[in-house]
Amino acid sequence: MDTVRIAVVGAGLMGLSTAVCIPTLVPRCSVTVIADKFTPDTTSDVAAGILIPHAYPDTPVHKQKQWFRETFDHLFSIANSAEAGDAGVYLVSGWQIFRSMPTEEVPFWADVVLGFRKMTEAELKKFPQHVFGQAFTTLKCEGPVYLPWLEKRVKRSGGLMVPQRIEDLWELHPSFDIVVNCSGLGSRQLAGDSTIFPVRGQVLKVQAPWLKHFIRDGSGLTYIYPGTSNVTLGGTRQKGDWNLSPDAEISRDIFSRCCALEPSLHRACDIREKVGLRPSRPGIRLQKELLAQDSRRLPVVHHYGHGSGGFSMHWGTALEAARLVNECAQALGSPAPKSKL
């Protein structure tokens, strides 16, 4: 059988991790990643990359837990290896705190992270406005370091990176046999999906190297995530807002909310603003679709719509996307019955 030619549309976290997984599952294939934006200009580069899952109403909980566990275990072994620095993956401990008792004191992912427990009274004293909290150790996966590392892995297994904006998936026919759509918000156009919409997130990246713990308000709106070269302060959740320019008023508000949780931040310096549009959807779309137009056929695997939970789920969903690609590849191998004249 000829080499299966696979195009991955999108070079963010989903595109690159799927491009890494595909050759491990699909025999004899070539992978080409095509995107208008590459790191450091993708949405994935803005995210802090902390592994705390976001709950998807339309995706079954057991699936979310499976994908989170696969992602966590995969990154955990990288964090404990000599590659950790090159991959930008490391452990971080901290607290998720609530102003009122949460309906779920123990979330579905509690046994995936390390050392999950309720905060003690003494620990809660640090947060006088909050009445309950969870302490645990999780992983942080830094986009601007992890994405280039993934790109290297793609190239090492023979993959190509092509900077090009795709307006229509049919542009990839007949050069490619299978298309993997990891275009995030681009799927509104490329897949005609009106259920995906941006949730605008503005963050600040500041210098505050003395901060060693993450702090996240249970609402998910205010958070402090210490990184290797800066601390991410957030954030916002503005549904349907496509504006990529930072807003000064919002920056002041983010800074003020974070300082309220961590007063030492008043001494933070070198404050930079960034905006990302989360590709939000009621559920992650992981689905095969056979596009048909006249006599043309184009198998597509959709892998997008992770909203706030991209980093937390990426490896699990990339593995599943690669499995779907393999199913498409197998189907290509068995030719459709042809009519005989």
Partner 1 sequence: MRVVVIGAGVIGLSTALCIHDRYQPVLQSLDVRVYADRFTPLTNTDVAAGLWQPYLSNPSNPQETHWNQQTFDYLLSHLHSPNAADMGLALISGYNLFHEAVPDPSWKDIVLGFRKLTPRELDMFPDYSYGWFNTSLILEGKRYLQWLTERLTERGVKFSQRKVESLEEVARGGADVIINCTGVRAGELQPDPMLQPGRGQIIKVDAPWMKHFIVTHDPERGIYRSPYIIPGIREVTLGGIFQLGNWSEVNNIQDHKSIWEGCCRLEPTLKKAEIVSECTGFRPVRPQVRLERERLRFGPSNTELIHNYGHGGYGLTIHWGCALEAAKLFGEVLEERKLLRMPPSHL
Residues that bind partner 1 (CB under 8 A): 79-82, 84-86, 88, 90-93, 114-115, 117, 119-120, 122-123, 126, 135, 137, 208-213, 226, 228-229, 263-264, 266-267
In the complex, minimum distance from the CB of residue 315 to partner 1, in angstroms, rounded to a whole number:
18
In the bound state with partner 1, the residue whose beta carbon lies nearer, of 79 and 301, is 79
In the bound state with partner 1, the residue whose beta carbon lies nearer, of 98 and 176, is 98
80 and 117 in contact (C-beta within 8 Å)?
no
In the bound state with partner 1, the residue whose beta carbon lies nearer, of 73 and 104, is 73
Query: For residue 282, which of 84, 80, 57, 105 has the smallest C-alpha distance?
Result: 57
In the complex, minimum distance from the CB of residue 255 to partner 1, in angstroms, rounded to a whole number:
13
Q: Where are the beta strands (DSSP E) in 48-129?
A: 89-98, 114-118
In the complex, minimum distance from the CB of residue 269 to partner 1, in angstroms, rounded to a whole number:
10
Q: How far apart are CA 59 and CA 326, in angstroms?
A: 22
**What letter represents residue 322's amino acid?**
A
In the complex, minimum distance from the CB of residue 48 to partner 1, in angstroms, rounded to a whole number:
14
Bridge-based pairing of strands 296-304 and 178-181 is parallel
In the bound state with partner 1, the residue whose beta carbon lies nearer, of 78 and 277, is 78
Q: Give the chain's radius of gyration (CA, Å).
A: 21
3-state secondary structure of 199: strand
In the complex, minimum distance from the CB of residue 143 to partner 1, in angstroms, rounded to a whole number:
14
In the complex, minimum distance from the CB of residue 44 to partner 1, in angstroms, rounded to a whole number:
19
In the bound state with partner 1, the residue whose beta carbon lies nearer, of 83 and 104, is 83
**What letter represents residue 31's amino acid?**
V
In the bound state with partner 1, the residue whose beta carbon lies nearer, of 145 and 172, is 145
Q: How far apart are CA 22 and CA 244, in angstroms?
A: 32
In the complex, minimum distance from the CB of residue 28 to partner 1, in angstroms, rounded to a whole number:
35
In 3-state terms, the chain is what percent helix, strand and coil (to 5)?
Answer: 35, 30, 35
Q: How far apart are CA 33 and CA 9, in angstroms?
A: 6
Query: For residue 114, which of 145, 76, 164 has the smallest C-alpha distance?
Result: 76
In the bound state with partner 1, the residue whose beta carbon lies nearer, of 90 and 170, is 90
